[in-house]
Amino acid sequence: MRVVMLVLAAGVALAPAVVTAQPSRRPAVHAHSPAPPGGATSTGAPEGSIPPIDPVNHWDTTDSDELIAHIQRAALGPPGPAARAIAGTLLSGVTPRVAATGLDALGALGRVEGTEAVLRFLDHRRASLRRHAVAAAAGIHSRPLVRALEARLGDGDADVRAEAAAALGDHDVGDHASLAPLWSAFDRDLNAALRPDGSQLAHNACVSIAKIGTVEDIDRLLGYLRRAPFGTMSDAFRAALERQDIPEATKLRIVQSVGDLATIEARAFLLTYANPRGHAPAPLAEAARTAAAHIGEPSP
């Protein structure tokens, strides 16, 4: 993260690069991460002409501190060559500390040249490095990486899959094809979570669905109001209510459905949404106030 901050401070552009490459180093026997329901795979379809990254250490050292310094300096230079150099070095086999730094840098650079290395690290045996790779994949969000993020919803590590779910809801990361795997993850985790507040995967998947889903997806989420923890649902609805591309009628259904719950939490949610300092359109704010009024004050 410190590297990311450093890179950010240096003005490295975070805007996603145009995805033009589909790396495939071992087409004959390359492993495919298990595809989640919905049929996505970790590698996706070929997209362009970025040449494969050679797994070569671009700096003449194997010392971790020196490599980290090289990566940080490279991240300040031209982003394309930097991403190629970092990706090649990571693929040549480095210590976990160097790998984490490199992945953070690739995510911050957001260059498609980093795709191949990030893909490889999404399948790394260390969950900690897969988490760095998830963050990097969100930064690059080339199509193969988005498909790979969807595959990580089935990861054996709870943090990895929760962070993959959150990443798919990030701006311009998840797409329409991501919705089916997100729904599957949400349903799966909703049934498995033992905690009263649900699990992080269910929460993040639900919120991501609300962020990137269609009106139909939002309506479908309303059906979970009494099944899923309210904390999860309220975060998801908050995300949906903030979206500009969701019609007011749909947002009104959210307000009314939450109001129908008639719980203290629902009332608090509605009043927060109706707060005059918020960004809720007037009709929706009024509807939220009205629904909250019907619930009434909680007993002291």
Partner 1 sequence: MTRAIALVSVLVFVGCGTASRYPAFDLQYPASSSAALAFVLARVQTAPTAETSAVAVLLPTPPAQGFTVVELPSGRRLGQVGAPVDGRPVVLGDLVLAHVHNTVTAWSLEGIQRWSVPDGGGLALDGAARDGDRVVITLGGMGVTQRDGALVIVDARTGAASTRLRVVHALGSPAAVGGYAVVPWDGQNLSLFDLDGGAEVARVRSRDDVISFARREGPALYFGARALYRFAPDDASGERAAAVPYTFTHEGIPGTPPFSRDGYIAARGGIDARGRVRLAWRPDPSLAGAGVTDATVYAVFYRDVFALDAASGAVRWAYVHPTDIAGVEVVHGGLVLVDEQGRAAMLAAADGRAAWRADLGASVAQAVFQLPLEFVPPSNGGDAPRGRVDGLLDAAGGTDTRLLPAQIFAVRALAAMDLPEATRALVAIVDHRSFPRDLRAAAGDALAHRTTGADAMIEALDTHYNYVRQTEAPAVGLLARGIAAAHDTHGVAALVSHLDDPATPMAELPPLVAALRELNDPAALPALVDFVRFYHADVGAVPPVGGGDAIDDRQGPDQDLLSAAMEQAVLAIAHMGSAADQRVLDDLLADPNTPQSVRVATAHARGGHAETTEETPDGEPVHHDPTPPTFHVPPAQLSGDDINDAFAPQREALLACLDNAPSRPAQVRMEFFYASDGTVSHVTVIPAAFQPCMAPIAERVRLPVSLVGREIGTYNFNTTAP
Name the residues that contact partner 1, by CB under 8 A.
Answer: 1-2, 25-26, 28-34, 36-37, 55, 62, 64, 91-97, 99-101, 120, 123-132, 134-135, 153-156, 161, 163, 181, 184-185, 188
- Nearer to partner 1 by C-beta: 17 or 134? 134
The least distance separating partner 1 from the CB of residue 221, rounded to whole angstroms, comes to 18
d(CA 55, CA 120): 11
CB closer to partner 1, 15 vs 28: 28
The C-alpha angle 14, 114, 38, rounded to 5 degrees, equals 95
In angstroms, what is the minimal distance from the CB of 288 to partner 1? 34
Cα angle: 227, vertex 138, 65; to 5 degrees: 125
Q: Which is nearer to partner 1, 96 or 298 (CB)?
A: 96
Please state the closest distance from residue 259 (CB atom) to partner 1, in A: 33
Q: How far is the CB of 234 from partner 1 (least distance, A)?
A: 24
What number of CA atoms fall less than 13 Å from residue 240's CA on the CB side?
A: 31
CA distance 284 to 186: 28
Which of residues 125 and 277 has its CB atom nearest to partner 1 in the complex? 125
Q: How far apart are CA 34 and CA 115, in angstroms?
A: 19
- Min CB(35)–partner 1 separation in Å: 8
> How far is 261 from 237, CA to CA, in rounded Å?
14
Which residue, 150 or 230, is less far from partner 1 as judged by CB?
150
